[in-house]
Amino acid sequence: MNRSLQAAVIGAGTATVVTVGLMLAWRAHDSSSRISSPSRQASPATVQQPVAKSLPPVVSDGTLAGESTDSHGIPTQPPVPAAAPALPPLLVKYGPLSFAPLVRQVIPAVVNIAITQNSPDGHDHVPPQIKGTPLEKRYHDRMKRQQDEMVGAGSGFIVDATGIIVTNRHVVGGADKVVVSLSNGHEMPARLLGADPLTDIAVIKVDSPEPLPHVTWGDSRQTDIGDWILVAGNPFGFGSSVTAGIVSAVGRDLGIGSLDDFIQLDAPINPGNSGGPAFNMRGQVVAVNAAIVTPAGGSVGIGFGIPSEIVAPIVAEIEATGHAEHGWLGITLDDSDTDVGIAGVDNGGPAQKSGLRRGDIVRQVDGTPVISARMLLRSIAAAKPGMVLNFGVRRGDQDVTLPVHIGPRPKNADN
């Protein structure tokens, strides 16, 4: 059968199906009309009206049966025990239908940060944060007028109505002047309260006559691989920008410091996003954007955030004291496939004073099994100087428990 004949047959077949369908529908309609309509000879009094049947309740596609919603259609949280903190309602339902409700709630608390730094030689050094971005031209124009300043850019977010702002240390470190821009364009000078080199966290403050919009911390330990995430910040100088993606992995070790425990995100993160927040779908901050993997300077979908479980205590400590302290023992670890052994002990260090020896195999700390050298280093770094941790070690053919006194971390200690 040639193509023309085949097409004609298909077309004819289609027309036949349509025609038969129309005829059947017309007959059904005609028959229904004859049944439901009164006969010309019948008396009007003999006509019976159809009895209306009650229908089952209809549940909207956007709401689960039995789920309560607010006036905007957003699901509300069920009651929680009195001892448990109440969670805010989900702002994104079931999938990426729209992130608009979430963005409207959180974006006023996300800020753009611009820094100036005195140039020691007056040369036109382009900061890496703005190289190749729209800010570079503004930088060159400014340098023509004023040769003693360099410009950098980053992001941050307000965590307290009094003007406490969290960002990365590498965004504001060494800055001579810091200016914060709100999402409405209002600019305010900021001062550095303190910074922590080990976690790359910095806290700055602005003075505002009115309370500022702010966001709250979420529990990053409840963040699962595959969860939706929203990133906000100042990429390439384009302020108040948001991107979305999922959590790609957790517990990433980038070899930056003892507290490495990054959340990997596939939401686009670019230069200028550093210090900005990553939100869960409840509008809570679960990570601070800190690093990206890129061969060409742009996002390739591999970004990293510092979990809120690490950041929140650091921020609180910097607010209270102006700095963050981390524990230190003065030991070198040997991480084999099965055991975590002590390869060296610093003379006069906290470990030696507590009785730890070279060759000890660390089995547990405060009852928690030690499964890797990285885990042990994180436990030590997260502890505060003066704390006592009970080390369970294997020494020769004996199991020994030692109370180990954590010391302060020296400024020149390796990360």
Told to judge if 274 belongs to the known catalytic residues of this protein, a careful annotator would answer yes
Give the tens place of pLDDT for each residue, 257-284.
667 788 999 888 888 889 999 999 999 9
* pLDDT exceeds 70 at position 211: yes
Question: pLDDT (tens digit, 9 = 90+) per residue, 284-341?
Answer: 999 999 877 766 666 677 889 999 999 999 999 999 999 999 999 999 988 777 789 9
Domains of the chain: 94-113+154-324 (2.40.10.120), 327-408 (2.30.42.10)
| The pLDDT of residue 18 is above 90 | no
pLDDT at 225: 94
How many CA atoms within 13 Å lie on the side-chain side of 239?
Answer: 19
Q: Provide the pLDDT for residue 334.
A: 85
Residue 152 has pLDDT above 80, yes or no: no
Encode pLDDT of 177-203 as tens digits. Answer: 999 999 888 999 999 999 998 899 999
From 200, 260, 261, 266, active-site residue: 200
**pLDDT tens digits, one per residue of 84-116:** 677 888 777 666 678 999 999 999 999 999 988
Residue 294's pLDDT is: 66
Say whether 170 is catalytic.
yes
Between CA 326 and CA 385 the distance in angstroms is: 7
Q: Name the burial class of residue 16, with classes exposed (0-12), middle (13-18) and buried (19+) by CB atoms within 10 angstroms of its CB.
A: exposed
pLDDT of residue 358: 93
Catalytic residue among 155, 220, 258, 274: 274
- Catalytic, 405? Answer no
Residue 71 clears pLDDT 80, i.e. is over it: no
Q: Rounded mean pLDDT of 407-412?
A: 85
Task: Say yes or no to pLDDT of 36 above 60.
Answer: no
Taking Cα atoms as reference points, which of 103, 241, 234 lies closest to residue 180?
Answer: 234
Predicted local distance difference test score (pLDDT) of residue 371: 87
Q: What is the mean pLDDT of residues 345-349?
A: 92
